[in-house]
A and B are shown apart, each in its own frame.
Chain A
Amino acid sequence: MTATLELQGVSMSFGGLKAVDNLSFAVNENEIVSIIGPNGSGKTTTFNVISGLYEPDSGEILLKGESVAGLRPDQVHDKGISRTFQSLRLFSNMSVLENVLVGMHAVTDAGVLSSMLRLPSVRREEKAMREKAQEILGMFPGRFSGPRQQQPAYSLSYANRRRLEIARALASDPTLLMLDEPVAGMNPMESREVMEQIKVLRDRGHTILMIEHDMHVVEGVSDRVIAMDHGVKIAEGSYHDVANDPQVVEAYLGKRAAEATA
């Protein structure tokens, strides 16, 4: 079986800095894989390369066996990779509902003229989109109910903005969902809630690649964990194997501390 996502020797540097260095890993269908690693270890850059924001210097990125390296971000999205952002990037002047609808842009095709004339086909599509958006927003019970959906995204609380990013990314029914630190800045109760929602997503058949610092969440949802440091993959395996890997401990705590705990 081909993996949903496979990276083969992907490298990406900025000037002299190798942000991602010869990185290879795979994510299988209906699996949740977490990437951990200290700040600046190249996790977000890995996402950006997969999303098509940067073209990798070398290496291959395969989605279900098909290369997506070098495609434009919107083309990568069309192929089935959707994501959220570490630093929230909602369309903050647009309403909650509109944000989700923008996420569906690629899977709809109302043309300009038919939209302006409000042809029946367009109305049908709009209705279907709205219903689907409602359904996705409904995955976060009580968070985006009724009038909230018409509010601009900037008026939402921080945690709700994070939730809305996930909803927007889900709108296109992606083959692979990438979450960049989905619980960053949330309190423990909110993190737990998001963790449960990620589990629900797996039960619904989604395949997820996630960057996360919160070890409870990583432990709670991951089928597999990948640890990075200085752009290099330093460990891969089950949560417990990776968390106890001496190289990982060293990356997080520094060499001396790692020796002291050993």
Chain B
Amino acid sequence: MSLDHIVTVTVGGLTVGMIYALIALGYTMVYGVLKFINFAHGEVFTIGGYTAAFTLLALGVNDAMSPIVMAGCILLALLAAVIAPMTVGFLIERIAYRPLRGRSRIIPLLSAIGVSIVMQQLIILVFGPTPVSMPALALGSASFSLGGIRIRVLAVVIIVVSALLMIGLTYLVRSTRIGKAMRATSQDMEAAEMMGIDTNKTIAFTFIVGSALAGIGGLLVVMYYGSLKYDAGFLYGLKAFTSAVLGGIGNIPGAVVGALVLGMTETYGVSLDLGFLAWFVLAGLVLGLYIQMVRVPGRRLQHIAEDRRTPEYEKSVKNVYRLAPYFAVKTLLAERTDALLSVSAEHAVRLMCGNAFLAASAAAMFVFGDVRIDTRWQPVIAFVVLMVILMFRPSGILGEAITEKV
């Protein structure tokens, strides 16, 4: 396995991760304001890809065109891939979610799943059941060489465009008037209303922005892979949703971090030898052990009430984590223990299982060092990564954007 290969795979992982991030932002922003998962978001992505491809086909884009005309055509496709998803996202919220707002949580959720199914059928109805294919362009396969390593131009385009969009979104949410309204709405919708914010407008805007980002994701994917199927939104949506949860649902930087972690592990997982990947798992194990042995017990100790703080008690809390198999299980089996100890014991067992899993995986991977995982297993890898990370951090890598309750 050469360095070239590793660099190529890394660029591939970053590219996929950025696409996931573009879609994940829509999930996480909507969750931020409405506390619900917009399952139809994956289809909004598909619509972006389809409208982009159909626009390019309709314009008859080909390599004989002058670069300026071609750039104009791509710009038009981009416009279509933004406007169509925006409109769809806006309508979905208006028709399927707003009338149900304020009902029990399961109802909008069901509506979202329903909308997702309906949207897939609508895509087939409008665009036909065969996958849409991009016109074959030299740009699609163009690449350049960096120190002898070939890198696709489109991969760089995807990474740069996504990064710029994320910077723009961060600015929008942090510093603009509508961004403040979005944050206020997500923290306390009623109070925001009584402070003069039209929350309906703010929510509609959130859907529009999320949909536009997903639409651009669709355009980039169809250009990168050359074609898109009507149900592509399902798997992409699922991965993006996973990314959002992985990074901490409702947390905007979290969605990007989660997406990059997912994109990288997935791509590394099926492209590199197990023996090489084992080192990453080993690094994860070191981090996991640090969390179990040092970080978490340190935090727990701060939670001990002043009047109960004795060296023996502190030691028993630490032991629960450090000698987990023995003390934690003993604590859990004991007839009566205090609340802090038993909570810590459960926590310790969970962390220990995570670390044991990492250790076992690393060992197995070293044994089967020259095996490569089949591409079909990609979703499984995504799932395993999600479970392991949530075992150590239930609220995601950067934590959920829950309002601090005081």
A: which residues have CB within 8 A of B? 51-53, 72-74, 76-78, 82-83, 85, 88-94, 98, 101-103, 105-108, 110, 112, 115-116, 152, 154, 161, 168-169, 172
Contact = CB atoms under 8 A, between A and B. Distances in A.
B190 interface: yes
Contacts of A154: 404, 406
B196 A77 contact: yes
Interface string B179-201: 01101100110111111111100
8 contacts: A51-B194, A91-B187, A102-B184, A105-B180, A105-B181, A106-B195, A116-B172, A152-B404
Given A94-B184, A102-B184, A108 B190 contact: no
What is the predominant secondary structure among interface residues of chain A facing chain B?
Answer: helix
Given A53-B194, A72-B193, A91-B191, A102 B404 contact: no
A74 B183 contact: no
Interface string B214-232: 0000000000000000000
A102 B172 CA distance: 15
B197 A74 contact: yes
Given A102-B181, A103-B196, 7 more contacts: A82-B194, A92-B187, A94-B180, A94-B184, A94-B187, A112-B176, A115-B175
Contacts, number: 100
Interface residues of B, number: 29
B197 A105 contact: yes
Contacts of A172: 195-196
A73 B404 contact: no
Nearest to B190: A53
B194 A77 contact: yes
Closest 7 CB pairs of A and B: A106-B196, A77-B196, A115-B176, A73-B193, A89-B191, A154-B404, A110-B177
A140 to B, nearest CB: 19
B171 interface: yes
Contacts of A103: 195-196
Contacts of B171: 116
B205 interface: yes
Given A115-B178, A116-B168, A91 B183 contact: yes
B44 to A, nearest CB: 19
A112 B205 contact: yes
A82 B180 contact: no
Interface string B363-381: 0000000000000000000
B403 interface: yes
Contact of B184 (A78, A88, A91, A112): A91
Nearest to A110: B177
Given A74-B193, A77-B194, A83-B194, A101 B404 contact: no
A77 B195 contact: yes
Contacts of B403: 92-93
A102 B190 contact: no
Nearest to A101: B180
A92 B184 contact: no
